[in-house]
Homo-oligomer: A and B are copies of this chain.
Amino acid sequence: MRVLGILGSPHKDGGSAQLLLSALKAAEKEGAKTEIVSVYDGEIKPCIGCIHNEEPVCKFPCIFDDFGKSILEKINQADGLIFSTPIYWFAPSGPLKILIDRITCLENMISYGEPSYMEGKVVGAIAVGADAGGPWTCGYLITTFTSMGAIIPPWGIAYSYKGNKAIWDDKALMDVINIGLLVIKMIKLLKRGEKSQLTYIDNKNLLNEIRSEVLKELKHIKEFENYGRKTISRGNI
A residues bordering B, Cβ < 8 Å?
7, 9-14, 17-18, 21-22, 25-26, 28-29, 33-38, 40-42, 46-49, 52, 86, 88-95, 97-102, 104, 119-120, 130, 132-136, 138-140, 142-144, 146-147, 149-157, 159, 161, 163-164, 167-168, 170, 173-174, 177-178, 181-182, 185-186, 188-190, 192-195, 197-203, 206-207, 210-211, 213-215, 217-218, 221-222, 225, 229-232, 234, 236-237
Contact = CB atoms under 8 A, between A and B. Distances in A.
Given A7-B232, A13-B218, A143-B157, 4 more contacts: A42-B229, A47-B94, A132-B133, A167-B214
A112 to B, nearest CB: 17
B189 A193 contact: yes
A154 B120 contact: yes
A152 B159 contact: no
Contact of A25 (B33, B95, B213): B213
A171 to B, nearest CB: 9
A140 B214 contact: no
A207 B49 contact: no
Number of copies: 4
A185 to B, nearest CB: 5
A129 B201 CA distance: 24
Contacts of A101: 88-89, 93-94
Contacts of A140: 90-91, 139
B211 A22 contact: yes
B132 A161 contact: yes
A152 to B, nearest CB: 4
B237 A35 contact: yes
A143 B142 contact: yes
A47 B88 contact: yes
B37 A231 contact: yes
Nearest to A181: B201
Contacts of A130: 52
Contacts of A163: 52
Given A159-B132, A197-B189, A214 B143 contact: no
A201 B178 contact: yes
14 contacts: A18-B218, A22-B214, A25-B213, A34-B236, A41-B230, A42-B229, A47-B88, A49-B86, A90-B140, A97-B98, A143-B143, A146-B156, A154-B199, A185-B197
